[in-house]
Amino acid sequence: MNEQTTPATDTTIGSALTHVRAQIAAAATNAGRDPASVTLVAVSKFHPREAVETALAAGQRVFGENRVQEAAAKFPALRQRYPDLKLHLIGGLQTNKAREAVRLADVIESLDRPALSDALARAADQEGHLPDLLIEVNTGDEPQKFGIPREKADAFIRDCQTRFGARLRGLMCIPPAGEDPAPHFRFLHSLADEHSLPVRSMGMSADFPLAIAEGATLVRVGTAIFGTRPPG
Ligand SMILES: *Cc1c(COP(=O)(O)O)cnc(C)c1O
């Protein structure tokens, strides 16, 4: 791949954040929703800690990372200076990383299989606390993707509610690339409602206004804030 990367400068990160926040507010207002009902998760994966610091200086407090190791390298030091910083882990999670994930994250958005729910429960016992959890649903039933398949989602959600109680906050999805994401967002919204789960994490740089129209309460936006990702 010879993709051009455009590392964002301080000014562009700040103005991109302003622009994304305005788009979130407009999409919410258009949908008859309170803009405060949508939380922006700034996805900083593959970008250096300095980019996160610039976003923090611009008032952003909620961040998303895909990899436990990268999150561990970037975030603990920043937390000392910004105690209200919140870190979401949004990438596929190996069971052997569960304990470190529990140590690092405020929210784990990628709970997607019983083996991982076992590992997280064990890690919570060891660490004495548990982050909030979202179940990732593979709404397109794509074989190569993370996420619980559609037909297993109901039972898995119920099991996790029994096990984790209100720590299970909601659902997350990443619709198939190149497909209209709206039906996937709608499906995730109704599935969350059926299980009385308040959080719906859906929408990325390309489609977050649409996701908000379909009921997103968390949008995960990387490229539109930090620019094109350097190769990871
Ligand atoms: C990278 C990533 C995002 C952000 O994607 P952009 O298109 O850069 O906004 C959102 N969610 C997940 C799970 C990701 O891995």
Cβ pair 20, 38 in contact under 8 A: no
pLDDT at 61: 98
pTM equals: 0.95
> Looking at 25-29, 194-198, 227-231, which range is the least confident one?
227-231
Res 7: pLDDT: 58
Residue 218 in any domain: the answer is yes
Length of the chain: 232
Q: What is the CATH number of the domain that holds 96?
A: 3.20.20.10
> Taking 90 as the threshold, does the pLDDT of residue 6 lie above it?
no
Q: How far is CA 110 from the centre of its chain?
A: 8
Is 105 within a domain?
yes
For ligand 1, which residues put their CB under 6 angstroms from it?
43, 45, 66, 90-91, 174, 204-206, 220-224
Which residue from 90, 93, 208 has its CB within 8 A of the most atoms of ligand 1, so it is best to mutate? 90
Q: What is the pLDDT of residue 5?
A: 56
Burial class of residue 96 (count of CB atoms within 10 Å of its CB; 0-12, 13-18, 19+):
exposed
**175 close to 139: Cβ distance less than 8 angstroms:** yes
Is position 64 within any domain? Answer: yes
| Other beta carbons less than 10 A from residue 139's beta carbon | 28
For residue range 113-153, what is the model confidence (pLDDT) as tens digits? 999 999 999 999 999 999 999 999 999 999 999 999 999 99
Task: Please report which helix (H) or strand (E) contains residue 202, including its range.
Answer: none
Phi, psi of 63 (to 5 degrees): -125, 155
Q: Domain count for the chain, please give it.
A: 1
Mean pLDDT of 74-100: 97
163 lies in a domain? yes
- Residue 132 maps to a domain: yes
- Closest-CA residue, ligand 1 atom 6, reads 222
Residue 84 CA to ligand 1 centre (angstroms): 22
Contact assessment for residue 40 and residue 62, using Cβ atoms and an 8 Å cutoff: yes
Q: Where are the alpha helices (DSSP H) in the chain?
A: 10-30, 49-57, 68-81, 98-104, 114-127, 150-164, 182-194, 208-213, 223-226
- Whether 232 maps to a domain, the answer reads no
Q: How far is the CA of 213 from the centre of ligand 1 (A)?
A: 19
Question: Quick one: pLDDT at residue 39?
Answer: 98
Query: Whole domain around residue 124: which residue ranges?
Result: 3-28+37-226
